Chains A and B, each alone.
Chain A
Amino acid sequence: MIRAFLAQCERDLYVTVRREPFSFLSQSLLQPLFFLFVFGRVLPEIGAAQGDYGAQLLPGILALTLVLTALQNVALPLVIEFSFTKEIEDRLLAPLPVTWVAVEKLLIATVRGVIGGLLILPLGELILPGGIDLGGASIPALAAMLVVGALVGACLGLVLGTAVPPNRISVAFGLILTPLIFTGATFYPWESLDSLRWFQVLTLVNPMTYVSEGMRGALTDAPHLAAGWIVLGLAAGIAIFGTLGVRGFLRRAVD
């Protein structure tokens, strides 16, 4: 069973590296790249944002990349494999429990998310006016947030990929991704929202808020959501969406 699990991981890593490196990179990096450039470079340049906005933006963009890369790497393939190509069948008939197939999907998407996140750091150094400053950063906290943040995205992706009927997937992506991106404390520190209280409370529903705030805590000394709340939010997000996702996967895999 372990060998079947590892072999499925091997297949996915092989395809990521050997077959689809370009599509993987463009899918995960294009959007954050533009956000970094327009919000971190263009807006301060034309005087529409303060010069140090980039430093506040980077943790949010990192969170966004982690969550969205992992999410898309689970949700899109799952919809296609379950509904159209049926490629998932060969995995479901492999000698391992069906739940493990879902866990494998989460694991690989997490790895892809972390790779996407790591690539954001050199891009930030190139794009942002002041580069990036990791002097005040906590490396262990950063490493933990990379993994946990990507896992949150993967769990969300598993729910999306198994709950949404295939003919509605494009609508669902639009309806879910846009609010997810803009209510996730990506472009602003959560603390600074206290003048817009209702919105500040609303953002707490979005699991990405805890990833962004966690990244902010790991990378900067700017004020952020208290560590305890971040841990709680992340744990709850993984538990709730992970359970829903695995359940949805089982429902699709076994009639």
Chain B
Amino acid sequence: MSGVLVQVADLRKRYPGSPVEAVAGISFEVREGEIFGLLGPNGAGKTTTIGTITTRVRPTAGRVVVDGHDVCRAPVAVKKRIAVVPQLSNLDRSLTAVENLAFHAAYFGAGRRERRRRALEMLARMGLEGRANDKVDKYSGGMAQRLMIARALMHEPRLLILDEPTTGLDPQSRLFLWEAMLDLRARGVTLMLTTHDMAEADRLCDRIAIVDHGKVIALDTPRGLRRLLPAEHGLEVVVSGREPLTVDTAENVEGAPEDDRWRGRIYGELSPGELADVVRAAGRELIELRRMEGSLEDVFVHLTGRELR
């Protein structure tokens, strides 16, 4: 098993003047080389949790350790190892794109020639090579996002934190970012992201923590989380003939005819193979058979409720 890069243990945060804890005892670990997702409704405590890891929020209690360094005792060592891509642009508007990258690298100790070379290389990697000398206030939302990722990678962080990286981007920019994130993981960078976008979390994350009311309410792989849904234990089947299929070993069968077929949902501890046998024994033709899996969105709503925040 790979090592642990981030360790959050019983983290609590109460902001001055607030009656409730923004984070009320969160614990999780981020393993080296994985993409870890933090999912939750607005105000669930995601941003505060990220804030403590980036040294910008001081925990009221608990411990946050990044690559062996405590965020409270050794913030400078932590900052050397991480990089943050915020939700909204915080690029330096007085500078051009290439200068943004070069000065960032300088903050992390890169020499003059080195920082310029890396900046140009990184712009090319993010598809911004023609726009190196533009002021960043001329950049579109998607370009700014790519430039911030380029900036974050200038000092080769161990951990890249992305706060809702694709919110408000067009589909092209979104696909580009997804590929960039997977590429980074392949290069050994650990990624941590917060998102509302279930498709994004499902597609990218190795493991996901669902956070609500300042607590982790579920933590698993996307597949493991989907298994939390009651509907997981069921099969959906389409067979020839309009009459309902009788399955004696099932807990419950629901279905309806569809043209010259019958489509049904079979609930219970029945394997796809067993169901196929039942269909064959009934003399029907099997047209479709799949395990019912809810979307991550179903899991999310199942766990956090429907009310608006």
Contact = CB atoms under 8 A, between A and B. Distances in A.
B56 A253 contact: yes
Contact of A85 (B54, B93, B103): B93
Interface residues of A, number: 27
A254 interface: yes
Nearest to B100: A90
A143 interface: no
A90 B107 contact: yes
A15 B94 contact: yes
B90 A90 contact: yes
A4 B57 CA distance: 21
A95 B86 contact: no
Interface in B58-89: 58, 75-77, 79-80, 82-84, 86, 88-89
A106 to B, nearest CB: 18
Contacts, number: 77
Interface in B1-55: 15, 51, 54-55
Q: Name which of B86, B94, B109 has the most chain A CB atoms within 10 A of its CB.
A: B94
Contacts of B151: 90
Interface in A1-58: 1, 3-4, 7-8, 10-11, 15, 19-20
Contact of A10 (B57, B75, B106): B106
Contacts of B89: 86
B205 interface: no
B114 to A, nearest CB: 13
A20 B92 CA distance: 14
A93 B75 CA distance: 9
16 contacts: A4-B108, A4-B109, A7-B106, A7-B109, A11-B92, A11-B103, A15-B94, A19-B95, A20-B94, A86-B90, A90-B90, A93-B54, A94-B108, A95-B79, A254-B58, A255-B15
Q: Nearest 9 CB-CB pairs, A to B?
A: A7-B106, A94-B107, A86-B90, A255-B57, A3-B109, A95-B80, A89-B90, A15-B94, A11-B103
Given A96-B107, A98-B75, 15 more contacts: A4-B107, A7-B107, A11-B95, A15-B94, A19-B95, A86-B89, A87-B90, A90-B90, A90-B104, A90-B107, A93-B54, A93-B82, A93-B83, A97-B75, A254-B55
Interface of A: 1, 3-4, 7-8, 10-11, 15, 19-20, 85-98, 253-255
